[in-house]
Structure 1
Amino acid sequence: MKKCLVCGSELLKEPLLDFNNMPESAQNIPNEEEIKQDKGIRLKLYQCKGCGLVQFDCKPVDYYRDVIRSGGFSSTMVELRKSQYRHLIESYHLENKKFIEVGCGQGEFLSVLTEFPVDAYGVEHKHDLVEIARKRGLNVSEAFVENKNTVIENGPFDVFLSFNFLEHQPDPNGMLQGIYENLKEDGMGLITVPSLEYILEYNGYYELIRDHLVYYTFDTLQFVLEKNGFEVLEQEMVNRDTLSVIVRKKQKIDVSKIKESYDVVCKEINDYVDALKKQGKKVAIWGASHQGFTLAATAKLTKKIEYIIDSAPFKQGKYAPASHIPIISPADALLHSVDAIIIMAPGYTDEIAAIIKRDFGQGTEIAVMKAKNLQMYEDIKQ
């Protein structure tokens, strides 16, 4: 069963297009001798059932790791790159940052980048191209970003660049994960790929070639980028037929306040329970909820709490996960009275407090977990 190169879902059973006598590649151009063996091939274009990505179902060309550009030094492309670099650097304040072009060829676009106030690096797989780039004074290492274990020399980097390279890759996820791992936490990127929208708009079947295994739209490009840890900040069509997007590594959620809350809550609840225990008083929890279970376990209250009260019959007679504190009914709790009850049932606090006051007596102390603090119920109501 044919699988999507990005999401792994099945491809639609029938191909979108089925062409015969297509060129085997765009770069392995036969000479007079080789033309005798050269034959056209059959190419089938499919769409993924899951993410919608359009792709060929064939093996990649043998040089998919290499970046071979025939128009890299054209004035059109040079001016486009200058414009893109200028916008990226000025808009996101990337002066003096470290840039890496992934798949830099012989340094056509990397040499343009050196005109800007950044540290420019490149990585290229093809040895001959690396040598040419180095002779031009460019800082280029010989490697291919295969997967998340690939380590690029001189990293980590602040910004990556990838120009019309991702569409060649049989493992787009692997390349993007490799790039991700070689970027700093706030790393950014500029990436371009040929546009499927352009092909569809002009019905340009002649734009299809085996070299390009994948044909991205803005939506499917965003999908693969987000799948591999990036968020799209900007997107536009450039040079009529190319998708261009600016991305940033997804920011890690700041959980420092939650960790702080964990420390505070555990201390407060233990201080409260320990103080009561020293006075010879007994303490219970009301609420066999996930909140109650988590607090009892993480605060290590197993030997400090008499029981957990809960009105749900299916929970009664069982034990709280991890802490193993017994769960009993309100009626049973009346037979084994305690001096204080901590309510751990958000949304039902007032209802439970009213039951305690009515059935357990005014002398029963009531504490409540509210936000990240343990508070006395009477203080809350004032």
Structure 2
Amino acid sequence: MNPISPARATTVTRLGTQELIHQPCPACGSSPLRGFYAVRGVPAHSVLRLESREEALSYPRGDVHLAFCWQCGFITNIAFDPSLNAYSQRYEETQAFSPTFNAFNRRLAEYLINRFDLHGKTILEIGCGKGDFLALLCELGENRGIGFDPAFIPERAPTVKRGQVTYVADFYSEHYSDIEADFYVCKMTLEHIQPVADFVNMVRKAVGERHDAVVFFQIPEATRILQKLAFWDVYYEHCSYFTPGSLGRLFRRSGFNVLDLWVDFDDQYLMIEALPWVGGAQMPPLPQEDDLSRLIPLTAYFSQTVPQVLQYWRNRLREYYQNQQRVVLWGGGSKAVAFLTTLGLDKEIAYVVDVNPYKENTFIAGSGHWITAPEHLQVEPPDVVIVMNPVYTGEIEAMLAAQNLRPVLIPLNA
């Protein structure tokens, strides 16, 4: 196993919810915002393939300073610096090596195809990653697709009929707004964009007057993060955080009618379905959009309670280490980066496991922990496995049982 260099510590600051931030809200333009949580010196990227421990330890860092808008409920990192981001083919975001995730993706694709009669249509995906979901929509519905993502890698494109899907290794922008589509999909991308109103307005302008063109977005759901004190779901790449209400309000202000708002994937993902508003009375808000009164005390609860959660995890992991118990993390993505760097962990965690073969023998940004394949568990059997995402617990249990390993399994939030 590769040795681990000392981790660079981060600083977590508890901020009162009445701290006024005299900046306009990127979603609605209101001011001031209220700051409630800050983490200093976190890695600017979480899922870049970093080939050496030295590169991982020295990777550029930025600050997280979360503030929320009392007018619309949007939460943003006011310390975000987009110049620190470097989205490219080194970006390894895919979850397509997990049967659990693939089953969710297929179920979602089938639902959208059936709900919106996506057969023989043109589908445009903003932030298509490696192209898996777009390929599913096109394959299952005999649709045509075009996907945009600077992290797209041609040789890893899913197999589809010749000419059925076109990929553009670039950010979607106004430069491509003349490309017409029947269905616009954007999964796990809006949270990476800070000027969210500008972005959604750009999408609305691209849709134009095609009143039947459906827009579907999927993003992390922020209410769960606050309720569950999930500090591991707060990281630099995610500069924008939405609840159902703040997302619905943004789309309405941008000229859409909101058809539905719902959560899935163990309530981790928030979905919105919308149509362009082309005149007449706009559809009234959905009941789930009425969440401002709940959000305000939740931000205070998060601010006041997270320091206790951090201390709990530091004490627990220190005890495992002192008792010579080998602890590993399962999941080498953004949650692991936030968990390790926010806690300032080093030798307490032996290594990180991930099922994505493209992450094998790479290193966690900020902490330098080694990422390896599940087969390595046979070489250095763990006593404790911390599951970064509890939705994968059953899948992980089966993989451990197949190797005749029975460590203590601790899903986060459990």
Deviations 1:20-57 (A, max 9, x none): 34333213465233255347543211012432211101
Q: Write out aligned runs for 1:136-215 (5 A).
A: 138-146=165-173, 149-152=174-177, 155-183=179-207, 184-215=210-241
Q: CA deviation at 1:104?
A: 0.8
C-alpha separation in 2, matches of 1:91 and 1:247: 13
Amino acid at match of 1:206: W
Q: 1:11 to 1:25 in 2, by over 3 A?
A: farther
Amino acid at match of 2:227: E
Q: CA deviation at 1:160?
A: 0.7
Q: Write out aligned runs for 1:47-62 (5 A).
A: 47-57=68-78, 58-60=80-82, 61-62=84-85
| Structure 2: tracts of 5 or more residues without a match | 1-21, 282-414
Name the counterpart of 1:4: 25
**Equivalent of 1:228 in 230, 234, 254:** 254
Amino acid at match of 1:201: Q
Amino acid at match of 1:216: F
Name the counterpart of 1:33: 54
Greater C-alpha Rg: 1
C-alpha separation in 1, matches of 2:151 and 2:222: 31
Do the aligned partners of 1:110 and 1:120 also contact (CA within 8 Å) in 2? no
Q: CA deviation at 1:212?
A: 0.5
Q: CA deviation at 1:208?
A: 0.2
Amino acid at match of 1:205: F
- The TM-score with structure 2 as length reference comes to 0.54
Do the aligned partners of 2:44 and 2:61 also contact (CA within 8 Å) in 1? yes
**Equivalent of 2:86 in 53, 56, 63:** 63
Q: Write out aligned runs for 1:268-279 (5 A).
A: none
Q: CA deviation at 1:119?
A: 2.1
Q: 1:191 to 1:236 in 2, by over 3 A?
A: same
Do the aligned partners of 2:184 and 2:215 also contact (CA within 8 Å) in 1? yes
Q: Secondary structure at the match of 1:185?
A: coil
Q: CA deviation at 1:234?
A: 1.6
Do the aligned partners of 2:261 and 2:273 also contact (CA within 8 Å) in 1? yes
Q: 1:250 to 1:38 in 2, by over 3 A?
A: same
Q: Write out aligned runs for 1:116-131 (5 A).
A: 116-126=140-150, 129=153
Amino acid at match of 1:209: Y
Q: Write out aligned runs for 1:329-348 (5 A).
A: none
Q: Write out aligned runs for 1:304-323 (5 A).
A: none
Deviations 1:53-103 (A, max 9, x none): 111011234236887423134322322222222222222333222111111
Q: CA deviation at 1:162?
A: 0.8
- The TM-score with structure 1 as length reference comes to 0.59
Q: Secondary structure at the match of 2:140?
A: coil
How many residue pairs get aligned? The number is 250
Name the counterpart of 1:24: 44
| Structure 1: tracts of 5 or more residues without a match | 255-382
Identity, % of aligned positions = 20
C-alpha separation in 1, matches of 2:139 and 2:187: 18
Amino acid at match of 1:248: L
C-alpha separation in 2, matches of 1:231 and 1:208: 30
Amino acid at match of 1:242: Y
Q: CA deviation at 1:195?
A: 0.6
Do the aligned partners of 2:212 and 2:276 also contact (CA within 8 Å) in 1? yes
The answer to whether the aligner puts 1:74 opposite 2:95 as a matched pair is no
The answer to whether the aligner puts 1:249 opposite 2:276 as a matched pair is yes
Q: 1:18 to 1:246 in 2, by over 3 A?
A: same
- Runs of 4+ deviating beyond 6 Å: none
Q: Secondary structure at the match of 2:31?
A: coil
Do the aligned partners of 1:81 and 1:109 also contact (CA within 8 Å) in 2? yes
Do the aligned partners of 1:103 and 1:165 also contact (CA within 8 Å) in 2? yes
Amino acid at match of 1:175: F
Amino acid at match of 1:250: W
Q: Secondary structure at the match of 1:156?
A: coil
Structure with more contact order per residue of length (Cα contacts < 8 Å, sep ≥ 6): 2
Do the aligned partners of 2:39 and 2:63 also contact (CA within 8 Å) in 1? yes
Q: CA deviation at 1:214?
A: 0.7
Q: 1:36 to 1:22 in 2, by over 3 A?
A: closer
C-alpha separation in 1, matches of 2:232 and 2:151: 31
Q: Secondary structure at the match of 1:80?
A: helix
The answer to whether the aligner puts 1:44 opposite 2:70 as a matched pair is no
Q: CA deviation at 1:144?
A: 2.2
